[in-house]
Amino acid sequence: MEKNKLRHVAVIMDGNGRWAAERGLERAEGHREGAKRVLSFIESLAGYDISYVTLYAFSTENWKRSSEEVSTLMNLLCEFLD
């Protein structure tokens, strides 16, 4: 594929809670770090002619988490999508 020919990039965000647990951090810290990395990744796409970026950041399974964690995830989505 030639450079600058990508049109759509999709990212499945997974493993942030495990990342935090492996480091002895709260799950929320992992989610925040994941959001920062997505921003960095999106910025790295600036030199490409990308029309669409899809972030799969919240699945139906995530609703089974604690209300505190769901709230944290929703707040992060609002903060970073702004």
Q: Which residues are catalytic?
A: 14, 62
Tracing tokens 């990395």 back to the chain, one arrives at: 37
Contact residues for 56 (Cβ-Cβ < 8 A; gap 6+): 10, 11, 12, 13
